[in-house]
Chain A
Amino acid sequence: MTRMKFTKEHLVKYMLTLFALSSLLFLFLIFIFILYEGLPLFHKIGLKNIIFGFKWAPTKGSFGIFPMIVSSFLVTLGALFVGAPMGLSCAIYLSEYSGKKMKMFLKPALELLAGIPSVVYGFLGVIYIVPLIRNHFGGAGFSLLSTSIILGVMILPTIISISFDAITSVPKTYREGSFAMGATKWQTIYKVVIPSAKSGILASFILGMGRAIGETMAVIMVAGNALKIPMSILDPLRTLTSNIALELAYATGDHRQGLFSTGVVLLVIIMVLNYIANFGIKKKVIK
Chain B
Amino acid sequence: MRIKPRLVDKIVRICLNFQAFFTVGILVVIVAVIFFKGAPHVNLGFIFSSPEDMGRHGGIFSTIIGTLLLVLLSIFLATPLGVGTAIYLTEYTKQSGFTKTIRFGVESLAGIPSILYGLFGFIFFVIKLKMGWSVLSGVLTITIMILPTIIRTSEEAIKAVPRNLRIVSYSLSATRWETVKKVVLPSAIPGILTGIMLSVGRAVSETAAVIFTMGSSLRLPTSLMDSSRTMAVHFYILAREGISMEKAYATALILVVSILLINVIAYYLMNKMISKYS
Contact = CB atoms under 8 A, between A and B. Distances in A.
Interface residues of B, number: 77
A116 B20 contact: no
A interface residue count range (under 10 / 10 to 19 / 20 to 34 / 35 or more): 35 or more
Interface in A169-220: 183-187, 210, 213-217, 220
A83 to B, nearest CB: 10
A111 to B, nearest CB: 6
Contacts of B212: 248-249
A99 to B, nearest CB: 12
B188 interface: no
Contacts of B92: 13, 16-17
Interface in B178-213: 201, 204-208, 212
A11 to B, nearest CB: 9
A259 B259 CA distance: 32
Interface stretch (A41-49, A137-145, A260-268): A260-268
A90 B23 contact: yes
A20 B107 contact: no
B120 A214 contact: no
Interface stretch (B83-91, B157-165, B221-229): B83-91
Contacts of A89: 15-16, 19-20
Interface string B243-275: 000001000100110011011000100000000
A102 B75 CA distance: 33
B80 interface: yes
A220 B239 CA distance: 11
Interface in A254-283: 259-260, 263, 266-267, 270-271, 273-274, 278
Given A112-B259, A113-B26, A116-B205, A186 B5 contact: yes
Contacts of A6: 175
A19 B86 CA distance: 9
Given A19-B84, A214-B115, A244-B115, A118 B207 contact: yes
Interface of B: 5-6, 8-9, 12-13, 15-17, 19-20, 22-24, 26-27, 30-31, 33-34, 80-81, 84-85, 87-89, 92, 101-102, 105-109, 111-120, 122-124, 128, 144, 147-148, 151, 175-177, 201, 204-208, 212, 232, 235-236, 239-240, 248, 252, 255-256, 259-260, 262-263, 267
18 contacts: A19-B85, A23-B148, A27-B109, A108-B263, A108-B267, A110-B23, A113-B27, A116-B259, A123-B239, A126-B239, A128-B33, A183-B5, A184-B5, A186-B13, A241-B208, A248-B212, A270-B111, A278-B107
Interface of A: 5-6, 8-9, 12-13, 15-17, 19-24, 26-27, 29-30, 33-34, 37, 86, 89-90, 92-94, 97-98, 102, 105-106, 108-113, 115-124, 126, 128, 153, 156, 160, 183-187, 210, 213-217, 220-221, 241, 244-245, 248-249, 259-260, 263, 266-267, 270-271, 273-274, 278
